[in-house]
Amino acid sequence: MQRICLFPGTFDPVTLGHVDIIDRALPLFDKIVVGIGLNTSKAPMFSAEKRQQWIKEIYKNEPKIEGAVYEGLTVDFCRAIGAKFILRGIRYVSDFEFEKTIADANRTMDKSIETVFLTGEPKYTSIASTIVRDIIRNGGDASHFLPDIVSKSLTK
């Protein structure tokens, strides 16, 4: 049986912190689906299609990675794609407290799906999509926080 993992998030935009977590999770799983969740309580800056395209371009040479857009409960999407693992990145202790609450709820809904936490590289802990969006909105240079593919697409 393949070890399929879902890395859910908004990825609005995809940052170096996201890429760090994905890259370090590669040896752990046979397949990682980067799940771009549509959250009705959030108004994204970039379309789901654009975010999915970034994932496709960043990982064009890595067959174990694919991007997908989904709505609804993360555990339902895990079932739909056959994922038994959910990957979450942790930057700070406060992230863990929040993420553990979600992991506990997911475990209550489906005990067969395990959440795996990876801590971010220290050089990426200050990178948050919210901050990056603010930099972009205000005409700043966000390239220090973004993969080249994402950064170059913003300058077009």
pLDDT value of residue 155: 82
Residues annotated as catalytic (active site), given as ranges: 18, 42, 91, 129
Question: Is residue 93 very low, low, confident or very high in pLDDT (cuts 50, 70, 90)?
Answer: confident
Residue in the block written with tokens 């496709």? 56
Question: Is residue 21 very low, low, confident or very high in pLDDT (cuts 50, 70, 90)?
Answer: very high
pLDDT value of residue 139: 93
For 102-131, the pLDDT digits (tens) are: 999 999 999 999 999 999 998 988 888 999
Q: Domains of the chain by range and CATH?
A: 4-155 (3.40.50.620)
Average pLDDT over residues 19-34: 98
Q: Which tokens belong to 145?
A: 């926080």
For 75-84, the pLDDT digits (tens) are: 999 999 999 9
pTM of the model: 0.95
Percent of the chain at pLDDT exceeding 70: 99
Mean residue pLDDT across the chain: 95
pLDDT value of residue 1: 82
DSSP 106-154: HHHH-TT-EEEEEEPPGGGTT--HHHHHHHHHTT---GGGS-HHHHHHH
